[in-house]
Structures are given as C-alpha cells and as structure tokens.
Structure 1
Amino acid sequence: MKLFSSTITALERGLDYSVQKQKAISQNIANADTPNYKAKDVSFKTVLENEMNANFRAIKTNSKHFDFKYGQASGNSIVEKSDTSYLHNGNNVDLDTEMAQLAENQIYNQALVDRINGQFNTLKSVIRGGK
C-alpha cells in the first residue's frame, strides 16, 4: 500500500531535479574565476530516461507488437559544458546566464513546494474529517 499518491511522488522527483540543478548552478557561480573550469548543467533528458526505465512498463497485447527496449541511462545526470570557452583562462561560466538559471530554478522549486504543501493540506483536511 502506498502512503502517498503518485502526485506527491512526482512532485518529490521534481524537487530532486531542482536540488541537483541548484547544486550545479552554485558550483558554476563559485568557480566563475577558476581557470579551465567548465560549467555543469543537469540534463533533463537523462533524468527522464532514468524515470522511464524505473517506472515505465509496457504490456504487449499482441505477439506481433515490437518489444520495448529499456536502455541503461547513466545514473549521473550532471553534464559538463565543454564545447565553449568565454574567458581567456579556459573558463566557460557566464555569470549572467547562471544567475538567470538560478532565479528560474528558485521559482520552479517554490512552485513545487507550494504544490506539495497543498497536497499535504488536503491530506490533513481529510484526516480531520473535513474540518
């Protein structure tokens, strides 16, 4: 028996992604002046593939249907942006871009937290009998 609905589980996974993104952005900002440091980003595609491999199950209804192949996505969803260099020291961190991504990620994170709070408030109301 699941204690929480799949909505809360999905929101929790969204928060996990947001935390990984926050760490990557924070590392990029902290290393903005580090020679040869390459900016990192969280790959949504890798996170999606990991979730699909873990949760997606297909049922063949006909023997002529194709088999579903489950590829092995890497567990690490942090991707290094090594194809650019903005500074003379080999660093490719663009502070303006990182600050914009930081603000966007904070808004995303807060929206998820608000939604989870709403889910828990609904559960609390149900437990109290609608009071």
Structure 2
Amino acid sequence: MAISFEKAFGLHPEAMLVRDRRAQVLAENIANADTPGYKAKDIDFQQALSNAKARQSGAINRTHEQHFNISIAQRQEAMFRNPDQPDTGDGNSVDIHRERNAFMQNSLEYQASMTFLNARISGLKKAITGGGQ
C-alpha cells in the first residue's frame, strides 16, 4: 500500500512555504524601517492557504499521462499594507513594533507546523519500520 503524503501531511507543507515567504516579507519591512518612501508589505495568510487548498483539490484532470498536471489557483504574493500610523514625513509606512510582533507570531506558527510535521513523520517511520523501539 502506497503512502499518500497529501493525506498524511495535509496543508502543513504548503502552510510552511507561505509562512517562510511571509517571514521574508516581514524581514524586508524591518530592514527598510528607516528607508524613505518604503511601503510595508504583507501576505494574507488565509488567502494564501485558500489558494493552496484550491491547488491541492482543484487541479485540472489530465486526459493523457504525458500532459502536465496544472492548477487553476494563483500563488499569493505580497501586497502593500494599509498603514496604522500617520505619515512621518518621509513616506515610510513601516511600524517597527507591528512588524516585530508579526514576525514573532509568524515564527511561532511556523514552529507549530514543524512540530506537527515532525510528529507525523515520526509516526509514519514507526509504521513503516514496525517501530517498537
């Protein structure tokens, strides 16, 4: 019997990719906190996860085995964020405290997914090897 990784892992691998991309975007915001004219960006995690679900379940059926397996959903990219604070005069919309909090929250959620995947992989490994150790 073959193991289906999509069934075993669910959306966690895709969620980790989105969280990784979001960490990059938030780090760019933090790095550019003092750059005049820089506009803060973010990724809508819920929208990106919805897109991942659509890609996972909405792939177009292939009519021939040599056709590419494509998805109808689009990847979510970073969007500009509406500023929470008034313009400081230099056109920069980064709120460093918000960015640090969002970065920390994103890191914790990434670690939660990593912990889940590690436990799931450990369980699959025990199932495969008979793991009474």
Residue in 1 aligned with 2:100? 99
Give me the TM-score of the superposition, normalised by structure 1. 0.76
- Report if the CA contact (8 A) 2:51-2:76 is conserved: no
Q: How big is each residue's C-alpha offset from its partner over 1:46-102, in whole Å with a ceiling of 9 and x where there is no partner?
A: 314423432345xxxxxxxxxxxxxx7653421112566542100010010011111
- Report if the CA contact (8 A) 2:9-2:120 is conserved: yes
One-letter amino acid matched to 1:81: R
Residue in 2 aligned with 1:75? 75
| Aligned residues between the structures | 117
Quote the Cα distance in structure 1 between the aligned partners of 2:116 and 2:46: 23
Quote the Cα distance in structure 1 between the aligned partners of 2:52 and 2:107: 23
% identical aligned pairs: 27
Q: In structure 2, do the counterparts of structure 1 residues 35 and 73 end up closer, same or farther at CA, with 3 Å as the change threshold?
A: farther
Give me the TM-score of the superposition, normalised by structure 2. 0.75
Quote the Cα distance in structure 2 between the aligned partners of 1:88 and 1:73: 39
One-letter amino acid matched to 1:44: F
Q: Give the unaligned 5+ runs of structure 2.
A: 59-71
